[in-house]
Structure 1
Amino acid sequence: MTASRQRLIVMMEIAILAALAMGLDFIDSSFRIGPYSFSFSMVPILILAIRRGIGAGILGGLIWALLQMALGDAAAWFFHPVQVLLDYPLAFMALGLAGFAKKNPTMTNIIIYSTLAVFVRYMVFHFLSGMVFFGMYAPEGQPAWLYSLIVNGSTGIINLIICVIVMILLYKAAKMIFIPKNSTI
């Protein structure tokens, strides 16, 4: 396979999986209780990163973030340019860190690096945004950092569990989803 054909295939996968993540986000966006949202829409970007590496995962996350900003409910949460940067491009691009599993996509590595990616998304980017820009919603007397830790930590853990369960089921049913056809693994 020529290098240009291979690049085209990777770019198509990025576009398709980012669009799939957005489509799933439309479907599961109704699973919301207060500040908590429950979703498995990260799965396509995590799979992309595992299949094609960190760079493809980061680009897929960026495209999904841009789609979310243009078409999703993100517009309701624009308070400040830095907040938008933390909550959308940077947080979604962090999912590309699951690409560390590309070299050895065992179920254990997929779980470990997907956990890392989701942790960075929620406990770095969303946490910082929540602490700085959403601390006003904290109950009286509760520090903004604690409020952000509780909201983003619990949301991140719940969504991680949902995504890991879906990915384990996919891995058991069709391991080849995580490994490109032209891979030597």
Structure 2
Amino acid sequence: MNFFILKNIDEYKVTYQLTAAGYIALIAVFIVLFSIGCMIAEKDKKIGVRQIAFSAMAVALAVVTSMIKIVKLPMGGSVTLFSMFFITLIGYWFGVKTGILMAVGYGILQMLIDPYIINVYQMFLDYIFAFGALGLSGVFSKVKNGLVKGYLLGVIVRFIFSFLSGWIFFAVYTPEFFNSAFLYSVAYNGAYIGLEAALTVALISCPPVKKALVYVKNMLV
């Protein structure tokens, strides 16, 4: 394990940092996932080069906007410039299968860019499952107001995974005035996820933005 991850110990916490080999391994995993997407595209007539290209573009936009942090919390989590929205767009455009695949890839990229790892289980909850959940937006890809509904579903499930991670692995940081790791995790994760979700829903509910997004989806489909 030390070959891929280094343990950092200080007075207050133990965290893990990826080694060069660890970064290479994660990049390899992302390449494998992207290759799987390409193979699916060849076998499934419903999935094509345009779908892969627009999905990659959405992931790139999500990565860029995730670096623009309006609010950043001390133990991970931040309000970004609508980064979750770009990932949920993939599911809205192309359905659950592609949405989850690309969302998991995005989670791996977030591990590469800004890792906060305590152990393997927390890593999966916070990066693979939580970000991968955003791909569930595809559940409502074919219904009226599907983008808002899908976005909210993805964000709610992401919150659940982030909450579980906070409750299980970050309970030691619960302030005394909360007196409950459960409530602290709800408040901590709900604060940044809820604020970004509220701002995003307000944006995509605006008639001009909504009309433009529907036009783009109709063009792709």
Q: Which residue of 1 aligns with 2:72?
A: 32
Q: Please give the alpha-carbon distance, in whole angstroms, between the structure 2 residues aligned to 1:114 and 1:61.
A: 13
* Contact 1:43–1:167 (CA under 8 A) maintained in structure 2: no
Q: Which residue of 2 aligns with 1:181?
A: 219
* Contact 2:98–2:135 (CA under 8 A) maintained in structure 1: yes
Richer in helix (by share)? 1
Q: Which residue of 2 aligns with 1:12?
A: 53
Compute the RMSD of aligned alpha carbons. 2.2
Q: Please give the alpha-carbon distance, in whole angstroms, between the structure 1 residues aligned to 2:85 and 2:119.
A: 28
More displaced, 156-165 or 168-177?
A: 168-177
Amino acid at match of 1:132: I
* Contact 2:104–2:132 (CA under 8 A) maintained in structure 1: yes
Q: 5+ residue gaps in structure 1?
A: none
Q: Please give the alpha-carbon distance, in whole angstroms, between the structure 1 residues aligned to 2:179 and 2:131.
A: 28
Match of 2:166 among 124, 130, 136: 130
| TM-score, reference length from structure 2 | 0.71
Work out the percentage of aligned pairs sharing the same amino acid. 30
Q: Please give the alpha-carbon distance, in whole angstroms, between the structure 2 residues aligned to 1:33 and 1:148.
A: 13
Greater relative CO (CA pairs within 8 A, separation 6+): 1
Deviations along 1:36-65, one digit per CA (max 9) or x if unpaired, are 621210111111110100111111211111
Q: Please give the alpha-carbon distance, in whole angstroms, between the structure 1 residues aligned to 2:46 and 2:92.
A: 20
| TM-score, reference length from structure 1 | 0.84
Question: Which consecutive segments of 4 or more residues in structure 1 shift more than 6 A?
Answer: none
Q: Which residue of 1 aligns with 2:139?
A: 100
Determine helix, strand or coil for the equivalent of 1:63: helix
* Contact 1:14–1:59 (CA under 8 A) maintained in structure 2: no
Aligned length: 174
